[in-house]
Every structure is written in structure tokens, then in C-alpha cells.
Amino acid sequence: MPFPRIDTPAVLVDLDVVDANIAAFQNFCDDAGMKLRPHIKTHKLPFLARQQISAGAVGVTCQKVSEAEAMIAGDDNDSDNSALGDILITYNILGDAKLARLARLAAKAKVSVVADNVAVVDGLARAFGDAAAPMRVLVECDTGADRCGVRDPDAAAVLAERVAAAPGLHFAGLMTYPPPGRVADVQEWLSEARRRCEARGLSVEVVSSGGSPDMWNLGEMNAVSEYRAGTYVYYDRSLHARGVCDWSDCALTVLTTVVSAPTETRAVIDAGSKVLTSDLLEMRGHGHVLARPDLEIDGLSEEHGRVTGAPTRLRVGDRLRIVPNHACVVANMLDRVELVRGDEAVDVAEVVARGQVW
Amino acid sequence: MPFPRIDTPAVLVDLDVVDANIAAFQNFCDDAGMKLRPHIKTHKLPFLARQQISAGAVGVTCQKVSEAEAMIAGDDNDSDNSALGDILITYNILGDAKLARLARLAAKAKVSVVADNVAVVDGLARAFGDAAAPMRVLVECDTGADRCGVRDPDAAAVLAERVAAAPGLHFAGLMTYPPPGRVADVQEWLSEARRRCEARGLSVEVVSSGGSPDMWNLGEMNAVSEYRAGTYVYYDRSLHARGVCDWSDCALTVLTTVVSAPTETRAVIDAGSKVLTSDLLEMRGHGHVLARPDLEIDGLSEEHGRVTGAPTRLRVGDRLRIVPNHACVVANMLDRVELVRGDEAVDVAEVVARGQVW
């Protein structure tokens, strides 16, 4: 039985695989002349953020103020307090409470944020108008993902000018979360936005793009100076489906036990939506069972997963390891992850940045 | 702006609505002569479990050993330590680690568990063979939900006999998580299983069924002695879709802020899959926006939700309250919930039983 001292369900992180993933993509970025700024929303663990920085990343990306706080706090306990000193929060930050926390963060580290609208810019200007150092702001650009972002390159330049003119703010560049698979269109969009900013006399220091699906296409990203990727540290079933990784690159797995085997073709495991989550990411089924590609996880309730096969050949008490559809959300479900190297359990890590309210 | 001192995203629980929900269903059960055993997986809060017991519930249901531990631990700090003294864990419990914890629980409270296979029964017998008091075991029956459970009434009687004959175990009855909407079939199944148990000389003390979708059909459940419901304490969009509740009965909502409004027809909120979850429960969209039924939440990324409308009429900084698709998984996402009564924030509760590894 694998990992006899780990009870199930458990989220396992294989540090040997993590080490290789961090090194491989950092080397790839270095060879491509691309700065890497890993997104810590995937692991939410300060020690992995430090490892990414040590490998050569220029800083980290966070999606919430609380993630940045957790990284800094986690870092304070370490010997090298400056390791996580450069944090980009890729989120429109609104409201007095979050802005006050952002100001406290900015006193401890080099912090940048994004904005895609005037209300956010004005809020940041109110919060940092009297600050000792200006807050660095990147303009978020919608290059086709239809989420946040200004809608066209001219709007990017207009908002950039507003940032540059605002008290307490420094226009630092452009940021996008691009639609996967449309690299050339995204470059054209960003190049045009840069030209329009420069035509207004604004210097574009950083052009930040991201996303693990296109991470191996950096060579085509001539308009981008800095790349954000999160999932590459663990990979997952969705990235395997896109051809981004092999199963052996998948560092995060869910260890689960068969708790019922009612028929030849159906078994039930102790991993449900409260650990695997219901994220499908346009796939069928709820995870890949390692060493058993013939099995399908075809249904989840909160604490049960239903496994089908023809036949399953599973017995009550058997253990399975599952590569989840989406590692970033699974890493967010439990208070801790089990750190392993190969077949050996080596440590436990508290997922410090999870469960945070804001 | 609603709840100005609560930052977003936040999970709100309206205690006025909770009070009414608990009272209404308890009264309904009392009138129907049905014992109620609420499932605490929905709220994971000891104080609400105590409230359910005070209202008349015979005990509580938990889905994991850690949930039962959290209820007991939470109860220890209260004036009435016996309030949560009767716990049914509706799960096949396997493995030395969990069985040892179950034994510790059984020393503190009246605990019952379920089993649907011989391996689980034998494990329980090993763990409780020398215990001072026998462990109470209900046989889990698959009455059509195709998850766990013995497959036919005769198999239920065969396994019941094995339980009754095992050292340290007491056969306490039958348990099912039934398929919604098939009440009559379920009664027939359970009645036949009872007959077959009794034909073997076994007394069936409890027949436990559950599920919020059929909670108002207790009058048709002539074969059932005890009912488990969880979601009724909060309700949610899925139960509204099934006609089980009104929007005004929905006690759990997600408070969120519009952080971007890129077009007339699209806005972005600060609630994504890490608070609303990706549970669809056969519906379209990711929640119901209170007071704005014209809006659809048509996409989630981890910390963003995409809202569409024709037009949305939303501005950056606006706040929305969302009834999520599935309250039980949303209550599990954040470390705490904000307790409100109407428009007034009254307290904060730590969701003590969430994030537990096992």
C-alpha cells in the first residue's frame, strides 16, 4: 500500500517532480530571455515561492491581498526576508480595507498592482497620494479572454495616462491574462498598446502576460517582457489534455481509498467534490487515475467519488492516486498537503494562503 | 452599500432565516412523527448543530470522522456538553487511523456508523471487539442512487446478520441516501429489507433516509423512522430550482463586489470558483443574483466571476448578493462566515470543521 502512514483523502505534492518542474521552466525562460514571475495561487506555500525565486524568478504573482500577506508573513520566518520582495497582485483592488492592507504590504516589499478602470485608479490614488513611494500600476488589457481588462489598445493608453498623472501612482506597464492558443493576436494587441502609450510619452517598463497553456510558446511572444505561470509547478489533467505536460510531470495528486465496491463496474472512493472540486475545464470526468487509465471518475458527491470501469478490478481498501482536473483549486481545499519524494513521505506543509476570507 | 464593514468576497449567513428554517422543518417533522437528524456537513458549525438539537432533533449526522470530532470539540467549550451526544457518521470507515479516532469519539458520545461491505464490518469488529460498549452499525442500502450501499434487500439482511454476529458490533438498522423523487420505490426497498432482517431474527431499530430534495414528502415515507437533511438550514439555488424553498428562505449568500465593468453587457465580480465553487448540479450558471434575476453568472475563474446582462447596469464598486448553486460546498471554502440578521452584521463564526484533512 502506498504511503501507509498517510490517511486518505490526502493531497500529495511530490517535491522531486516540483524541483524538476521549477528548474525546467526557469531554464526555458532563461534561454528565451523571458523574465518569469510565478503565480503562487497554485501552491499558496511560501517555501515553494522562495524556491521559485532562488531558481531565478524575478518575483511572484498573487491574486489576492491575502495571498501576498501570507507570502510575506511566511517569508518573515525565514532566513532570507528579501526573497519574496517583489510581488505583483494581478487584481483590481477596491475599497478602503484592502487598500489599507495594500499600503502596509507596500511598506515591506516592492508591490505592483493592476487596474482596468478609472474607479480602481482613483481609489489607488487616494490610498497612495501621500505615500513615501508611489504604487506601481500596470494597466490590465483584455486581449481576448473576455474577463477583466481594457477593451482596446487606445483605451490602454488612455488609462495609462490617467495612472501616470495620478498622485502617488507610477505607470509601470501592461498586463494581460490572454486567451490560450492565440499568441500572435495577443502580441499584436500588446505591441499596439505599447506604441500608443509611447506616443503619449509614457514609458512601458513591463509587459506581463501569462498562463500555463501557452508556457512553451515564449519564443513567439516578442511583445512580452515578463511571464506569469502558476500551474506549471504542479501541472494537472487539464494541462495534460492540452499537451503541455506528461503524467510524470504532475506533482500534485490526490491519494484516495476505495471505500465501497458495489458492482463489478462501479467503486466508490473517499475523494469527492470537497477535495477534487467540480472543476471540469471542458473535460469529461473528475480526474486521471494513475496507472489505471481504463477507469473513469464519472461522478462526485461531497465526500464520495464514483469510479467506473469494465470491470473496475477494485477492492475495498485499495488506494488510488488521482491527477485532478485542476491543481490550483485542489491545493486550496485542505489545510495541509503531504510532501513526498517518490514513494517516501518526507514532510507536511500548511497551505497558509488558503481559506483567507478576502 | 450593504454591510459596509464586511469586505468581499464574504459568505453571509442570515441567522433570522436560519432560525426560521430550523424551526419550520423541525415542526414539520414533529407533525409527521418523524425523527430529524440534521446533517452538519452543510454548516460545519457546532453552535448551529446545538440549535438544531435544542429545536428537537434527535442527534446529528456527520460525513467524516473529523466533522464529528469538530462537533464534539466545539461542544466541549459550551455549557451543555451532552447536546451533541448522538452522532451518526454516514460513511464506510476504513483503516486503523480513522478507527482509532472513532473509538475515542465513541468514548465521549453515542456514535453510530454505517457499513455496506464485509471489509468495513470486519474492520469495525477488530476495532471494537474489546470495547466497553458495542459500536452501533447501520447497513447502508443502495435504493437507486448508485453510490454506496448493498444492492438488494436480501444483501442488506445478509450483511446485517454479519454485523449482529460480529464481536463489538450492534446491528442498529438500515440507512440509505435515496435517489431524489422516487420516494415510493425507496419505501418498498426499505420495507422489504426490514422484513428480510426480521425474518433472520434481527431487530431493525432505525431506518434512516435523507436528502433535502424530498424533505417535504415525509408523509409518504412510511418505511422510514429517522430523516437526515443538511441543506435545509441554508437552502440554495439547486433546492429553489426543485421547488423546495423560496429565495427568502436562502440563508447563505455570497457578498461580492463588481471589480470591472468592461462592456454594457459584461461585468466581473470578486467571487470565483474559490468561493462559489464549480458545482452546477445540473443547472446553468453559477448562482442567483438576489434582486437581479436578469443577470447571469456565466463563467468563473478562480477569483473572478463573469456576470452578463442585457445590459448589466452594473458599475465598479457595486455589491451583489448571490445565492450559490450549492450551499454545502460554499460553506466549506472560507475559514469563516459572517453572521447577519437582516441588514445587520452581528458576528463572525469560524467554520471549525472545514479544511480537515481526513
- Band (B83; pLDDT cuts 50, 70, 90): low
**CA-nearest residue of chain A to B63?**
A303
- Name residue A263's amino acid: T
Cell of B117: 461491505
Percent share of chain A, pLDDT over 90: 93
| Beta bridge mates, A227 | A36, A209
Complete DSSP assignment for B45-76? -HHHHHHHHHHT-S-EEESSHHHHHHHHHHHH
Q: Are residues B9 and A358, on separate chains, in Cβ contact within 8 Å? A: yes
Q: What is the pLDDT of residues A340-350, one digit of tens each?
A: 999 999 999 99
Helices A96-106 and A118-128: angle between axes, nearest 10 degrees: 60
CA distance A349 to B120: 31
- Band (B155; pLDDT cuts 50, 70, 90): very high
Asked if residues A135 and A106 have their Cβ atoms less than 8 Å apart, the reply is yes
Q: Are residues B116 and A355, on separate chains, in Cβ contact within 8 Å? A: no
Asked if pLDDT for residue A82 goes beyond 60, the answer is no
A95, A142, A317: residue with CB nearest B7: A95
Query: Which region, left, alpha or beta, applies to residue B289 given φ > 0 means left and ψ of -120 to 50 means alpha?
Result: beta
| Beta bridge mates, A256 | A320
Complete DSSP assignment for A78-125? SS-TTTT-EEEEEEE--SHHHHHHHHHHHTTSEEEEEESSHHHHHHHH
The whole-number average pLDDT for the span B27-43 is 98
Asked if residues B268 and B305 have their Cβ atoms less than 8 Å apart, the reply is yes
Asked if pLDDT for residue A336 goes beyond 70, the answer is yes
With vertex at residue B130, the alpha carbon angle to CA B128 and CA B133, rounded to the nearest 5 degrees, is 65
- Name residue A60's amino acid: V
Give kind and range of the element (H or E) at residue B169: strand B169-176
Q: What are the residue ranges spanned by the domains of chain B?
A: 16-235, 238-350
Q: Is B139 exposed, middle or buried (0-12, 13-18, 19+ CB in 10 A)?
A: buried
Percent share of chain B, pLDDT over 90: 93
The whole-number average pLDDT for the span B75-84 is 54
- Band (B79; pLDDT cuts 50, 70, 90): very low
Pairing of strands B169-176, A135-141: unpaired
Distance of CA A311 to the CA centre of its chain: 37
CA distance B290 to A346: 48
The whole-number average pLDDT for the span B3-20 is 97
What's the CATH fold of domain A15-233? TIM Barrel (3.20.20)
B23 vs chain A: nearest CA distance in angstroms? 26
* Span between the terminal Cα atoms of chain B, in Å: 40
Asked if pLDDT for residue B80 goes beyond 60, the answer is no
Q: Are residues A7 and B317, on separate chains, in Cβ contact within 8 Å? A: no
For residue B182, give the 3-state DSSP assignment.
coil
Determine which of A142, A148, A300 to mutate to test the interface with B (most B C-beta atoms within 10 Å). A148
What's the pLDDT score for residue B150? 98
CA distance A47 to A70: 11
Q: Is B97 exposed, middle or buried (0-12, 13-18, 19+ CB in 10 A)?
A: middle
Complete DSSP assignment for B219-284? GG-TT-SEEE-SGGGT--HHHHHTTS--GGG--EEEEEEEEEEEETTEEEES--TTTT-S--TT-S
Asked if pLDDT for residue A355 goes beyond 50, the answer is yes
CA distance A25 to A41: 17
Q: What is the pLDDT of residues A50-61, one digit of tens each?
A: 999 999 999 999
Complete DSSP assignment for A232-268? GGT--HHHHHTTS--GGG--EEEEEEEEEEEETTEEE
CA distance B13 to B108: 30
Determine which of B148, B298, B314 to mutate to test the interface with A (most A C-beta atoms within 10 Å). B148
CA distance A308 to A314: 10
Cell of B146: 448508485
- Band (A81; pLDDT cuts 50, 70, 90): very low
Chain A CB contacts of B44 below 8 Å:
none
What's the pLDDT score for residue A75? 57
B7, B329, B336: residue with CB nearest A302: B329
Q: Tell whether the torsion through CA atoms of A334, A335, A340 and A345 is positive or negative.
A: negative
CA distance B236 to B36: 20
B146, B306, B336: residue with CB nearest A357: B336
Tell me which DSSP letter residue A39 carries: B
Locate cell 514532510: which residue? Answer: A347
CA distance A95 to A113: 14
- Band (B75; pLDDT cuts 50, 70, 90): low
Tell me which DSSP letter residue A313 carries: -
Who wins on pLDDT, A132 or B295? Answer: B295
Q: What is the pLDDT of residues A63-72, one digit of tens each?
A: 999 999 999 9
Asked if pLDDT for residue A335 goes beyond 50, the answer is yes
Q: Which of A111-115, B57-61, B68-72 has the lowest mean pLDDT?
A: B68-72
pLDDT averaged over chain B? 96
What's the pLDDT score for residue A79? 46
Asked if pLDDT for residue B357 goes beyond 90, the answer is no
What's the pLDDT score for residue B82? 55
Q: Are residues A303 and B261, on separate chains, in Cβ contact within 8 Å? A: no
What's the pLDDT score for residue B81? 45
* Span between the terminal Cα atoms of chain A, in Å: 40
Q: Is B121 exposed, middle or buried (0-12, 13-18, 19+ CB in 10 A)?
A: buried
What's the pLDDT score for residue B355? 83
What's the pLDDT score for residue A353? 87
For the beta carbon of residue B236, count every other beta carbon within 10 angstroms: 30
Cell of A233: 509547478
- Band (B84; pLDDT cuts 50, 70, 90): confident
The whole-number average pLDDT for the span A301-313 is 98
What's the pLDDT score for residue A356? 82
Complete DSSP assignment for B104-142? HHHTTSEEEEEESSHHHHHHHHHHHTT-SSPEEEEEEE-
Asked if residues B188 and B221 have their Cβ atoms less than 8 Å apart, the reply is no
The whole-number average pLDDT for the span A166-190 is 97
Q: Which residues, including other chains, have CB under 8 Å from residue B228's CB and lie 6 or more apart?
A: B37, B38, B39, B61, B88, B90, B208, B209, B210, B211
Pairing of strands B344-350, B35-36: unpaired
Q: What is the pLDDT of residues B270-282, one digit of tens each?
A: 999 999 999 999 9
Q: What is the pLDDT of residues A139-159, one digit of tens each?
A: 999 999 999 999 999 999 999
Chain B CB contacts of A302 below 8 Å:
41, 63, 328-329
Q: Are residues A354 and B355, on separate chains, in Cβ contact within 8 Å? A: yes
Q: What is the pLDDT of residues B288-333, one digit of tens each?
A: 999 999 999 999 999 999 999 999 999 999 999 999 999 999 999 9
Pick the CATH number of A238-350 from 1.20.120.1200, 3.40.50.12160, 2.60.40.10, 2.40.37.20: 2.40.37.20
Q: Are residues B120 and A302, on separate chains, in Cβ contact within 8 Å? A: no
Asked if pLDDT for residue A76 goes beyond 80, the answer is no
What's the CATH fold of domain B16-235? TIM Barrel (3.20.20)
Chain B CB contacts of A274 below 8 Å:
329, 332
With vertex at residue A53, the alpha carbon angle to CA A48 and CA A54, rounded to the nearest 5 degrees, is 95
Q: What is the pLDDT of residues A222-275, one digit of tens each?
A: 999 999 999 999 999 999 999 999 999 999 999 999 999 999 999 999 999 999
The whole-number average pLDDT for the span B229-241 is 98
Chain B CB contacts of A94 below 8 Å:
257, 259, 270, 316-317
| Beta bridge mates, B92 | B114
A315 vs chain B: nearest CA distance in angstroms? 9
Q: Are residues A302 and B41, on separate chains, in Cβ contact within 8 Å? A: yes
Q: Which residues, including other chains, have CB under 8 Å from residue B301's CB and lie 6 or more apart?
A: A147, B272, B273
Upper half-sphere CA count for residue A259 (Cβ side, 13 Å): 28
